[in-house]
Amino acid sequence: MSLDGGMMDPHAFTRILFQDFPSWEVSFFYLVGFAAIGSFIYGVYREVRKYLRGVPDARVIWDYAHIKQGIVAIATHRTLVRRDPYAGMAHRAIFYGFGVLFMGTSIITLEYDITSKLFGIHYWYGDFYLWFKLAMNIAGVSLVGGLIYMMVRRGWIKPPKLDYARPDRAPDAPDYDRSNYRIEDWLFLWILVIIGVSGFVLSGARMIWLADRPEVWDIRWWSPVGAFFAYGLRALGLDAEGAVILRQLIWWSHGALALTLISLIPYTKAKHIFTAIISLVVRDPLPAQRLPKVPEGQEQIGYRFLTDMSWKQLLHLDACTKCGRCHEACPARTTGGPLSPRDVILSLRELANSALQYSAVPEQSKLAMHGTGVGQVSSETLWACRTCMACVEICPVAVEHVPIIVQMRRALVEEGDMDPLLQKTLQTIHKSGNSFGESRRKRGGWAKGLPFPVKDARKEPVDVLWFVGDYASFDPRNQKVSQAFARLMHAAGIDFGILYDGESNAGNDIRRVGEEGLYEHLAESNISAMQSADFNRVVTTDPHSFNTIKNEYPDFGGQFEIEHYTSFVMKLIEEGRLTVKKQLGHRVTFHDPCHLGRFNKGYDAPRKLLEAIGCELVEMKRCKDNSFCCGAGGGRIWVPDPVGTEKPAQNRMREAASIEGLEVYVVSCPKDLTMFEDALKTTGYEGKFVVRELLEMLEEALEINLVEAEVTA
């Protein structure tokens, strides 16, 4: 029904606020309302003060593009539906339900307290009022429905990622117990559900109370849920007199709860309404790909105290909603390591809340992030991280764990608090420029095994400079792959060369270890070697080198156009410079290397290549952005995993083995080849399927050896 052409004045169709309230009750309500707003404002002030105790963040850019991507992410809930679609949709229902209801309340307040009182303007009546009611009803259903799903999820479905079990603490540690969080979660849900439902009861009670007034009763179906409640309450025997009392009671509890919620927002998990939004807006497009550079002239590096963090990182700590997605994705956690990215964030949050929330900043010892005390992060936890970025990638609210972990490791490196083997490796790299401790002069030695000379890019100009990397240069198994790539480029007629002993370890993993000084040294030495060579573009078979040259060398003055071999070769095939001669016809699965896939979104080229050479690709459950790290990242390739626990690579082999009829486990990273060939043996799947480097399969399918024979004949 509409009011058009109706008999009554549209102004009659409205809700009279505080109808029949004695004036002291109205005043009391305002008093409580102002108190709630006061509490909210003070809480916000306290939080902002806490964040501002961090240092400025040079990487935060407030421009249109950043703000837009943040708002789009929030509006679409894109980040929330990933890998947990139902929870994401339920959150969307809550978000929009809450948002609309909040806006509705604001519209009423605006009219009642401002426009009508100051300017005599009324708008909340008539058609607008009716549509408003309907919208509020839909929003209420959306809110309550979403909340009920969340309750079912917490109470019955109980996904393990929500159980708050901590891998980084013994059960008797004082901060092991997370029942406070659990209580808060349930309280938050219940408060919201009660606010939602009591709103409907209130509407129903009002309808019964004023049922004799057509301007109320006749439009009851504009609030269908309210009407439904009215019929229900009536059926339960509620008459107009009882409705007055019920209305009064519910009015106050609804109002009191709503105001309580507002007053509590900055003090509880509800603050994520704000922190998550800001976190998404200021997200860094390359959080783990491009680690922070140490500002010129800064002597102390790394994070030791909470106040070393940037304001944005302190805000991240509060943005975390404990959704557990990062906890679930983390390879260190999955294989029983003492690390959960969620708990790193929550520990530091607890520390920040106990140390930075008061009017004065306490002495430094209370701000220390490292250690085994309450809210601190232990060095075992930090060293367990493989900087695979799975956590950052999946976090729905853009928490950036990796830079925090690496910054904390920088402090550990300065203290020398690390595995002795890692220490040895770093010294070796410093001395010889590679992690194998081999002589620099032997870096290009693998090229001697080829039937054609490989150009020295330092001595003659080349079109393509091949940055080979440590593993591809020195590891005997990977040297074969390097030779295969050289033959392939040779066959395609590419004019390429390498830097021989002018090349050093690219530094990607050293930087992720936290040895920033050594990284700077390596990056600068490679950049100057590359700059003194004459070439047009760079190619590499090593995703680690690829990442740092592409994303991090520019910060040190090295701008190079670089490609990973997968996209490079794909283009050669597409351009017809290489032809697939043989369809391999294998049933394969593909392992996305962290630094190619998640870090640099190189998901498609390797898949296209596999298709081109006639392989049937069966994806593992954890693929592409959810690819499971081989365990070698962040310098962990130099530190043995503890004995007796499953290694990430072994875990991955089990996953691959569950594919029916799998023949080849395809990799496209030197470290992956090493890690998985080893894991294949130790897991006993040898003979069931093989681990192969995509390059070697390409060589077979392109029949390069044949071409080679012709060339050399």
* CB contact at 8 A, 157 and 323: no
Shortest distance, CB of residue 398 to ligand SF4, whole angstroms?
8
Please say whether the dihedral angle defined by the alpha carbons of residues 368, 372, 376 and 379, taken in this order, is positive or negative. Answer: positive
Among 387, 482, 551, 566, binds ligand SF4 (CB under 6 A): 387
Considering the rule CB under 8 A, would residue 552 count as an interface residue with another protein?
A: no
Cβ-based nearer residue to another protein, 336 or 517: 517
Among 332, 369, 486, 702, binds ligand SF4 (CB under 6 A): 332
Cβ-based nearer residue to ligand SF4, 342 or 443: 342
Considering the rule CB under 8 A, would residue 625 count as an interface residue with another protein?
A: no
Tokens standing for residue 653: 């082999």
Quote the Cα angle for 143-149-155, to 5°: 130
Cβ-based nearer residue to ligand SF4, 598 or 692: 598
**Per rule CB under 8 A, count of chain residues that contact another protein:** 25
Q: Identify residue 161 by its one-letter amino acid code.
A: K
Cβ-based nearer residue to ligand SF4, 225 or 326: 326
Considering the rule CB under 8 A, would residue 299 count as an interface residue with another protein?
A: yes
Tell me the C-alpha distance between 259 and 668, whole Å: 57
Which residue's structure tokens are 């066959």? 491
Among 330, 356, 523, 701, binds ligand SF4 (CB under 6 A): 330
Among another protein, ligand SF4, none, the one that 390 touches (CB under a kind-dependent 5 to 8 A) is ligand SF4
Taking CB under 6 A as the rule, which mask of x and - marks residues 305-324 in contact with ligand SF4?
A: ---------------xxxxx
- DSSP 8-class letter at 305: B
Tell me the C-alpha distance between 635 and 510, whole Å: 6
Tally the residues of the chain: 713
- DSSP 8-class letter at 449: G
Considering the rule CB under 6 A, would residue 325 count as an interface residue with ligand SF4?
A: yes
3-state secondary structure of 368: strand
Among another protein, ligand SF4, none, the one that 234 touches (CB under a kind-dependent 5 to 8 A) is none
Torsion of CA 94, 95, 99, 101, to 10 degrees: 0
Among 388, 539, 588, 691, binds ligand SF4 (CB under 6 A): 388
Among 162, 399, 454, 518, binds another protein (CB under 8 A): 518
260: left (phi over 0), alpha (psi -120 to 50) or beta: alpha
Shortest distance, CB of residue 423 to another protein, whole angstroms?
5
DSSP 140-171: HHHHHHHHHHHHHIIIII--GGGS---TTS-T
Considering the rule CB under 6 A, would residue 348 count as an interface residue with ligand SF4?
A: no
**Per rule CB under 6 A, count of chain residues that contact ligand SF4:** 30
Taking CB under 8 A as the rule, which mask of x and - marks residues 411-440 in contact with another protein?
A: --xx-x-x-x--x--xx--xxx-----xxx
Considering the rule CB under 6 A, would residue 598 count as an interface residue with ligand SF4?
A: no
Considering the rule CB under 6 A, would residue 656 count as an interface residue with ligand SF4?
A: no
Among 133, 169, 312, 386, binds ligand SF4 (CB under 6 A): 386
Considering the rule CB under 6 A, would residue 399 count as an interface residue with ligand SF4?
A: yes
Tell me the C-alpha distance between 236 and 238, whole Å: 6
DSSP 273-300: HHHHHHHHHT--SSTTTSPPPPPTT--S
Quote the Cα angle for 96-97-99, to 5°: 60
CB atoms within 10 A of CB 180: 10
Considering the rule CB under 8 A, would residue 513 count as an interface residue with another protein?
A: no
Considering the rule CB under 6 A, would residue 409 count as an interface residue with ligand SF4?
A: no
Shortest distance, CB of residue 48 to ligand SF4, whole angstroms?
21
Among 326, 513, 523, 572, binds ligand SF4 (CB under 6 A): 326
Considering the rule CB under 8 A, would residue 296 count as an interface residue with another protein?
A: no
Considering the rule CB under 8 A, would residue 408 count as an interface residue with another protein?
A: no
Please say whether the dihedral angle defined by the alpha carbons of residues 692, 694, 695 and 697, taken in this order, is positive or negative. Answer: positive
Considering the rule CB under 8 A, would residue 295 count as an interface residue with another protein?
A: no
Among ligand SF4, another protein, none, the one that 430 touches (CB under a kind-dependent 5 to 8 A) is another protein
Tokens standing for residue 64: 């249109």
Which residue's structure tokens are 């109470």? 155
Considering the rule CB under 6 A, would residue 513 count as an interface residue with ligand SF4?
A: no
237: left (phi over 0), alpha (psi -120 to 50) or beta: left
Considering the rule CB under 8 A, would residue 528 count as an interface residue with another protein?
A: no
Cβ-based nearer residue to another protein, 143 or 291: 291
* CB contact at 8 A, 540 and 549: yes
Cβ-based nearer residue to another protein, 439 or 532: 439
Q: What is the separation, in whole angstroms, between the first and last Cα of the chain?
A: 91
Among ligand SF4, another protein, none, the one that 413 touches (CB under a kind-dependent 5 to 8 A) is another protein
DSSP 215-269: HHHTTGGGSHHHHHHHHHHHHTT--HHHHHHHHHHHHHHHHHHHHHHHHHGGGSG
Among 191, 367, 397, 572, binds ligand SF4 (CB under 6 A): 397
Q: What phi and psi values does residue 341 have, to the nearest 5 degrees?
A: -60, -35
3-state secondary structure of 7: coil
440-479 residues in contact with another protein (CB under 8 A) are 440-442
Cβ-based nearer residue to ligand SF4, 254 or 370: 370
Considering the rule CB under 8 A, would residue 78 count as an interface residue with another protein?
A: no
- Residue 17's contacts (CB-CB under 8 Å, 6 or more residues apart) are 108, 112
* CB contact at 8 A, 618 and 659: yes
Chain residues binding ligand SF4 by CB under 6 A are 320-327, 329-332, 339, 341-342, 345, 385-391, 394-397, 399, 401-402
Chain residues binding another protein by CB under 8 A are 294, 299, 301, 413-414, 416, 418, 420, 423, 426-427, 430-432, 438-442, 515-518, 520-521
